[in-house]
């Protein structure tokens, strides 16, 4: 028997507590709210993490690995939290991503060193093509 959305929701709430995530940002939708926020569908043993807005699929990831699914969820949650932090602590004439990326890595590390390293690799790839200004 596979993992249910309810079980995943409980895991997300527990992990969200570790990073003091706003409770509303840790809610898992089982159907699209059609506002760009992700939702989760479970098809057999596969998790489908989908973002839609007004009927248009913006992103769609699928996996049968719960850790990978949780990473995707917390990559989004930590990004929102880091974005809010950056906005409140913005440094004039500095690339906003410096604070944003640093804070996101700090948040992810509270949950998993592996997730922090994975996100660091993704950030390094972003910066290869779009370096800090």
For the chain (133 residues), the mean pLDDT of every run of 10, in chain order, is 88 98 94 91 95 92 98 98 98 97 99 98 98 93
Q: Where are the domains of the chain?
A: 5-127
Cross-strand bridge partners of residue 60 = 50
Per-residue model confidence (pLDDT) at position 127: 98
Which residues fall within 8 angstroms of residue 39, CB to CB, at 6 or more apart?
28, 29, 30, 31, 32, 33, 49, 50, 51, 52
**pTM score:** 0.94
Per-residue model confidence (pLDDT) at position 33: 87
């Amino acid at each position: 028997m596979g993992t249910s959305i309810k079980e995943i929701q409980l895991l997300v709430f527990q992990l969200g507590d570790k990073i003091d995530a706003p409770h509303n940002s840790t809610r898992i939708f089982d159907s699209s709210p059609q506002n760009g926020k992700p939702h989760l569908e479970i098809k057999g043993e596969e998790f489908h993490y989908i973002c839609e807005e007004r009927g248009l699929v913006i992103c769609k990831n699928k996996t049968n690995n719960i850790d990978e699914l949780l990473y995707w969820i917390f990559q989004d949650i930590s990004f929102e939290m880091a974005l809010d932090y950056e906005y409140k602590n913005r440094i004039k004439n500095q690339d906003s991503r410096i604070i944003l990326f640093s804070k996101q890595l700090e948040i992810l590390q509270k949950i998993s060193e592996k997730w922090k390293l994975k996100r660091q690799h993704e950030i390094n790839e972003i910066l290869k093509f779009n370096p800090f200004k």
